Amino acid sequence: MNAFVIAVDGPAASGKGTIATRLGAVLGLPVLDTGLLYRAVGVLAQRAGLDLDDPRAVGAIAATLTAGQLEDPALRTRAAGELASRVAIHHPVRAALLDFQHAFAGRPGGAVLDGRDIGTVICPDAPAKLYVTATPEVRAERRWKQLEGQGEAASYEDVLADIRKRDARDGGRAAAPMTQAPDAQLLDTTDLTIEAAADAARRIVEAARVRWEAAKAAD
Ligand code: C5P
């Protein structure tokens, strides 16, 4: 691969979004939170009154998605996460979002993409891959605090149930299931502060960059 692409995958609230943002800032690379694409499709499909279980109708919405539609604060809610995971099971939705993600990943200077299938399906040749995880309980606590900070009240138990349901749906679907790529480095953030997790991620990526540059020089 010509550009230095960093794939950051993992389950909800594992810390992958923060890690991707920090990597982008440190390395001067643009960052795409691909979860926003699925959230936008879910929210737009619901607003249009579509049947969320209809792959073709929801896929048609995905085909019209623009970058501007990713700015909507409604995409950050708990409900949007649930809608995203429901529409993300459809092949036509995933296929319609491929070009957007490939165009982003193909930027000449490189890019960071975070999601569920970046290292496995979207950018299988990415020179740096991380799979970020943490226990469901720790992830639920993080997500619960984040929702509270956004002014969205929810009980810890409900958030934990959401996380478990989402893990099962994202990992169990036929289309691009969430899974660690064989060549991705596992980063378990259960017992790490966000600073320690971001530092560990930076070290993994720096080592990957050295290997990538050596391979390019040897070509
Ligand atoms: O990362 P985030 O929680 O915003 O993602 C919302 C949902 O979008 C996930 O639970 C998953 O179902 C879907 N998604 C996906 N593939 C990605 C990113 C997100 O299927 N690359």
Could you list the pLDDT tens digit for every one of the 219 residues in the chain? 679 999 999 999 999 999 999 999 999 999 999 999 999 999 999 999 999 999 999 999 999 999 999 999 999 999 999 999 999 999 999 999 999 999 999 999 999 999 999 999 999 999 999 999 999 999 999 999 999 998 988 999 999 999 999 999 999 999 999 999 999 999 999 999 999 999 999 999 999 999 999 998 998
Tell me whether residue 108 is in a domain: yes
Tell me whether residue 70 is in a domain: yes
pLDDT at 64: 95
- Ligand 1: centre distance to CA 219 (Å): 36
∠ CA 63-64-68, nearest 5°, is: 130
Tell me whether residue 219 is in a domain: no
Tell me whether residue 215 is in a domain: no
Spatial CB neighbours of 37, under 8 Å, sequence gap ≥ 6? 62, 65, 70, 97, 100, 101
Ligand 1: which atom is nearest the Cα of residue 16?
1
Other C-beta atoms closer than 10 Å to the C-beta of 183 total: 15
| Residue nearest atom 4 of ligand 1, based on CA coordinates | 35
| Residue nearest atom 5 of ligand 1, based on CA coordinates | 35
pLDDT at 76: 93
Tell me whether residue 212 is in a domain: no
Kindly state the DSSP code that residue 119 receives in the 8-state scheme. Answer: I
What total of structural domains would you count in the chain?
1
Q: Is the pTM of this model over 0.85?
A: yes
The whole-angstrom separation of Cα 177 and Cα 167 is 10
Give all strands (DSSP E) within the chain, no chain letters.
Answer: 5-9, 31-33, 111-115, 128-133, 185-188
pLDDT at 2: 78
Ligand 1: which atom is nearest the Cα of residue 113?
21
CB 209 within 8 A of CB 4: yes
pLDDT at 204: 98
Domain that residue 189 falls in: 5-206
The pair of three-digit structure tokens given for residue 164, joined into one six-digit string: 């478990």
pLDDT at 124: 97
Q: Is the CB–ligand 1 distance for residue 85 below 6 Å?
A: yes
Tell me whether residue 218 is in a domain: no
pLDDT at 153: 86
Q: In this structure, what CATH number is given to the domain that contains residue 68?
A: 3.40.50.300
Tell me whether residue 24 is in a domain: yes
The whole-angstrom separation of Cα 193 and Cα 79 is 27
